[in-house]
Amino acid sequence: MKKLLIIPVTVLAAGSIFLASCGSNNTDAAMKAPVQNNADTATQKATKESGENEGKENEAEENEKDEKTTIAKPASYVTNTDAKTTENMQAAFKGETTASAKYAAYSKKAEQEGYHQIALLFKAASTAENIHAKNHKAVLQESGVSVPVIKPEFTVKTTKENLQDAITGETYEVTTMYPEFLTAANEAGNQLAMISLNYAYKTEKKHKVFYEAALTALQNNTVNTLSTVFYVCPTCGNTYETIAPARCGISMTGGEKFIKITSL
């Protein structure tokens, strides 16, 4: 799976800046595809040589750029779409939309049962899943594909059962669903799908760990030792507890832009 998930640095660097807008209210407008050119013109070559085309810059150089600077997408950034990738992106959108609503409900249940720290964790995860859903939706719209209307269906049980359900869901996503979806997107050459899927895949791995720790704390009656502060990256949904980093470890988004979760 590692081999399949090694996305070129240049793609991730470009995608990190490009998908940063997905956490805002202007998602659809931010993902209009550039026109595909079959050959570089003299202007394009000059642009590449001047360093304005971020597709040719390495990650270190990207980190030094002003985050407010608008960088044009290279012609090769146009997405390629096939039936399988479309089907997978629609499934991923449905899954993340449902997870966001489900975790929000689980958060309220945990608070009702007196598990405030677990309630905050569920709220942070719900926020992250919503970001994933928006990213997946943007990819579908960029490809000219219809976005399904989702009516989340789930059952709220006890907090312990809800945590077990969350662990089962995250385990499936990180061991089966997202690895398979990433493989298909890679074979289709769909760069945007790979970026969006990879954002979710890496974040869900962290959510799984958080849920497992919360369940252990619940079983050991040490819930009060869990974090009461969470930070969520608005670009990729990456989730941190207690302290926000200077930059997101997945999308390189500045920590000052993170969504802080301290209350329900």
**Which tens digits make up the pLDDT trace of 121-170?**
999 999 999 999 999 999 999 999 889 899 999 999 999 999 999 999 99
Instruction: Report pLDDT for 238.
Output: 98
Q: Please give the Cα distance from 168 to 52 (Å, whole number).
A: 44
Domain boundaries, the chain: 80-261
The pLDDT > 70 percentage for the chain reads 69
pTM comes to: 0.71
Return the closest-CA partner of residue 52 out of 17, 7, 4.
17
What does the pLDDT look like over 15-51, one tens digit per residue?
Answer: 443 444 444 444 443 343 333 444 444 444 444 444 4
Q: Please give the Cα distance from 66 to 71 (Å, whole number).
A: 10
Per CATH, the architecture of 80-261 is what? Answer: Up-down Bundle (1.20)
Instruction: Report pLDDT for 198.
Output: 98
Instruction: Report pLDDT for 148.
Output: 85
Instruction: Give the β-pairing of 259-261 and 230-232.
Output: antiparallel
What's the whole-number mean pLDDT along residues 231-240? Answer: 98
